């Protein structure tokens, strides 16, 4: 195409085609020009949320407190003392939220179930009113042809469970809860995720006193908490399979994403090693049905106590692996025994509105590639991807979140690289459908593609919602 521009070339081609008596296809919404970053047919586009972040209604229909109710009410724990007491009031406004999904053209919705609505004490007698709520939400989704993907545990552990995740009996209780919900909802739900992000409800809650319940346990106890977390997942998979034999089972995990600083053989290999090593207590243990030897050696006397049968449950076959992807960790090969070194971020490295959210859109490609190259899962979903932004409502009521669109567009571009190279990515869930309770940041950090005025609960689609609608309609990066 030397010496002529792409536009001139297009014109010339059209003229040539007209002369030859053939007409070129017209490109309109829903159709593709050649070279457009098109996703595979049937690719699932959705949005994600979690119960405690959107529902509110914390005392309705027999719900009892979770550790996050308790924690968010402790003065000084969250920004501005914010709690999930009301949040988006989606418990009552769920029909409106399903309408938002419908308007986007979304084919799927990832939502979580509040364990303490279904078993207010965590175990014992179920509360049928709790599950009835979810049956109504699911029916509304199905009536609108939106496929539900249900997470069973997104950090809101029933507060009444003695010892929380320090106790092995909590893993058992999770198995019972998962089996019960799967049995009751199997006519409405075909995709279950056991847990969301092990590190956030184990290490951040029990070792670093960051998230609920806010403890600082020594390493041995903290490693045992991790073990109970992954054991709960394993028992959950077994219970779902036993009670809902047709269901697809997976999880949503924020595995550390290692990106080779330079894309060459040595650094790619370093990223792969780092992926296995850096996720050793969680995803690696699940995928291999064992803790890697290097993890056990590193932890020494602090290594978790494992009972017979635990690792078999933990290694249960999965129908899909869900990855929550936000931010990269850059690695390079080096001569150390482990074979890699982690890069630190220079102070000028760009971030989105949350201080941990370093911008590196190629992380979504490497998240998929590292996991697939190491463990060859049957299918991958991106169960979360999105960003916080300092959204402003213009005087005429619009939110022009061009920074969020930039973030999302770039991530999808790199996700497209993964699908075009044949990695089995089946779907993408944008975090989040709407602004919500962002844990310690309360309502100060907005991740939604719909703006929520928390005083009135009014939802307003942002520019990013308009953009995502177009992505979904064309099944392509736009
Ligand atoms: C995820 N990090 O959490 C959670 O699944 C959501 O509930 C949450 O609202 C969303 O991401 C945005 O924060 C994360 O520090 C929390 O890297 C922290 C990190 C990553 C994910």
pLDDT digits (tens, 9 = 90+) for 273-330: 999 999 999 999 999 999 999 999 999 999 999 999 999 999 999 999 999 999 999 9
In 3D, which of 30, 23, 208, 236 has the Cα closest to residue 113?
Answer: 236
Instruction: Round to whole Å and give the CA distance between 235 and 311.
Output: 10
pLDDT tens track for 342-367: 999 999 999 999 999 999 999 999 99
Residues facing residue 125 across a β-bridge: none
φ, ψ for residue 351 (rounded to 5)?
Answer: -130, 160
With a 6 A CB cut-off, is 197 part of the ligand 1 pocket? Answer: yes
**Closest C-alpha to ligand 1, atom 13:** 438
Structure tokens at 231: 């054991």
Decide if pLDDT at 30 tops 80: no
DSSP letter string, 64-101: --BHHHHHHTSTTSSGGG--SSSTT-HHHHHHHHHHHH
Determine whether the shortest distance from the Cβ of 155 to ligand 1 is under 6 A: no
Among the atoms of ligand 1, which is closest to the Cα of residue 447? 12
Q: Is residue 16 pLDDT above 80, yes or no?
A: no
Residue 30 dihedral angles phi and psi, to the nearest 5° = 90, -10
Query: Do the beta carbons of residue 189 and residue 150 sit within 8 Å?
Result: yes
Q: Compute the distance between CA of residue 257 and CA of residue 325 in angstroms, rounded to an integer.
A: 8
Contacts of 461 (CB under 8 A, 6+ apart): 100, 103, 449, 450, 451
Q: What is the mean pLDDT of residues 118-133?
A: 98
Residues 325 and 257 sit within 8 Å (Cβ to Cβ): yes
Cβ atoms of 472 and 105 within 8 Å: the answer is yes
Q: What is the pLDDT of residues 255-284, one digit of tens each?
A: 999 999 999 999 999 999 999 999 999 999
Q: How far apart are CA 408 and CA 337, in angstroms?
A: 37
Q: What's the CA dihedral at 282, 435, 380, 315 to 10 degrees?
A: 30
Confidence of residue 54 (pLDDT cuts 50, 70, 90): very high
Q: How far apart are the first and last CA of the chain?
A: 25
By most ligand atoms within 8 Å of CB, the mutation choice from 327, 431, 437, 440 for ligand 1 is 431
HSE toward the beta carbon, residue 313, CA cutoff 13 A: 24
Q: What phi, psi does 248 have (nearest 5°)?
A: -90, 135
Helical residues (DSSP H) of 292-375, grouped into ranges: 293-299, 310-314, 363-375
Q: Which of 210, 207, 230 is nearest to 218 (CA)?
A: 207
Closest CA to 258 of 193, 201, 154, 338: 338
Phi-psi region of 223 (alpha: psi -120 to 50; beta: other; left: phi over 0): alpha
C-alpha dist (Å) from residue 63 to 50, 70, 436:
16, 13, 20
Evaluate: CB of 384 within 6 angstroms of ligand 1.
yes
3-state secondary structure of 211: coil
How far, in Å, is the centroid of ligand 1 from the Cα of 112? 14
Nearest one of 478, 459, 477 to 102, comparing CA atoms: 459
Please provide residue 108's backbone torsions phi and psi, each rounded to the nearest 5 degrees. Answer: -150, 155
* Whether residue 14 has pLDDT greater than 50: no
Distance from C-alpha of 230 to C-alpha of 242, rounded to nearest angstrom = 19
**Burial class, 255, CB count within 10 angstroms (exposed 0-12 / middle 13-18 / buried 19+):** buried
d(CA 264, CA 247): 40
CA distance 305 to 78: 34
Catalytic residues: 197, 384
pLDDT tens track for 232-254: 999 999 999 999 999 999 999 99
Asked if 126 and 171 touch (Cβ cutoff 8 Å), the reply is no
- The CB of 156 under 6 Å from ligand 1? The reply is no
374 pLDDT tier (thresholds 50, 70, 90) = very high
- pLDDT average, residue stretch 471-475: 98
Q: How far is the CA of 40 from the centre of ligand 1 (A)?
A: 28
Residue 254, ligand 1, Cβ within 6 A: yes
What local confidence, expressed as pLDDT, does residue 12 receive?
42
User: How does residue 15 score in pLDDT terms, banded at 50, 70 and 90?
Assistant: very low
How far is it, in rounded angstroms, from Cα 439 to Cα 433? 16
Tell me which of 384, 386, 440, 441 to substitute to probe ligand 1's pocket, judged by most ligand atoms within 8 Å of the beta carbon: 384
Tally of CB atoms within 10 A around 439: 24
**Are the CB atoms for 257 and 200 separated by under 8 Å?**
no
Q: How far is CA 252 from CA 12, 196, 235, 380, 381, in A?
A: 50, 5, 16, 10, 9
Distance, CA of 158 to chain centre: 21
Is the sign of the CA dihedral 6, 9, 14, 15 positive or negative? positive
> What one-character DSSP code corresponds to residue 261?
S
- Residue 196 Cβ inside 6 Å of ligand 1? The answer reads yes
Q: Is the pLDDT of residue 32 over 60?
A: no
Ramachandran angles phi, psi of 77, nearest 5°: -80, -40
Report the separation in Å between the CA atom of 367 and the middle of ligand 1, taken as the mean of its atom positions: 16
């Amino acid at each position: 195409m030397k010496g002529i521009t792409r536009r001139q070339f297009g014109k010339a081609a059209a003229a040539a085609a007209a002369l030859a008596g053939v007409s070129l296809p017209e490109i309109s919404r829903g159709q593709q020009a050649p070279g457009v970053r098109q996703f595979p047919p049937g690719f699932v586009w959705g949005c994600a949320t979690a119960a405690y972040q959107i529902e509110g209604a914390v005392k309705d229909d027999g719900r009892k407190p979770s550790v996050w109710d308790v924690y968010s009410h402790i003065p000084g724990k969250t920004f501005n003392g914010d709690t999930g007491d009301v949040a988006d009031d989606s418990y009552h406004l769920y029909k409106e939220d399903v309408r938002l999904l419908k308007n986007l053209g979304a084919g799927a919705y990832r939502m979580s179930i509040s364990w303490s609505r279904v078993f207010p004490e965590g175990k014992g007698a179920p509360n049928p009113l709790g599950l009835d709520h979810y049956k109504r939400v699911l029916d509304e989704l199905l009536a609108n042809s939106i496929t539900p993907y249900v997470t069973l545990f997104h950090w809101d552990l029933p507060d009444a469970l003695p010892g929380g995740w320090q106790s092995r009996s909590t893993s058992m209780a999770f198995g019972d809860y998962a089996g019960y919900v799967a049995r009751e909802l199997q006519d409405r739900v075909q995709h279950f995720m056991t847990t969301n992000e092990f590190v956030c409800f184990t290490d951040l809650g029990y070792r670093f006193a960051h998230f609920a319940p806010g403890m600082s346990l020594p390493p041995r106890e903290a490693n045992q908490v991790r073990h109970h977390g992954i054991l709960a997942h394993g028992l959950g998979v077994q219970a779902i399979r036993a009670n809902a034999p047709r269901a697809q089972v997976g999880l949503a995990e924020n595995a550390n994403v290692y990106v080779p600083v330079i894309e060459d053989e040595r650094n790619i290999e370093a990223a792969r090693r780092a992926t296995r090593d850096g996720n050793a207590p969680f995803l690696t243990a699940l995928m291999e049905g064992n803790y890697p030897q290097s993890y056990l050696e590193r932890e020494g006397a602090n290594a978790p106590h494992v009972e017979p049968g635990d690792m078999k449950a933990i290694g249960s076959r999965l129908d899909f692996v869900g990855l929550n992807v936000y931010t990269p960790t850059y690695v390079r090969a080096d001569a150390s025994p482990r074979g890699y070194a982690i890069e630190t971020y220079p102070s000028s490295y760009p971030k989105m509105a949350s201080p941990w959210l370093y911008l590196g859109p190629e992380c979504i490609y490497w998240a998929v590639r590292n996991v697939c190259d190491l463990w060859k899962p049957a299918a991958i979903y991106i169960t979360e991807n999105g960003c916080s932004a300092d959204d402003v409502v213009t005087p005429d009521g619009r939110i022009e979140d061009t920074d969020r669109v930039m973030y999302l567009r770039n991530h999808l571009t790199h996700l497209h690289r993964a699908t075009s190279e044949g990695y089995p990515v089946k779907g993408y869930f944008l975090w989040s459908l709407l602004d919500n309770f962002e844990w310690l940041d309360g309502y100060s950090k907005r991740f939604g593609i719909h703006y929520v005025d928390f005083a009135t609960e009014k939802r307003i689609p942002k520019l990013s919602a308009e953009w995502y609608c177009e992505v979904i309609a064309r099944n392509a990066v736009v």
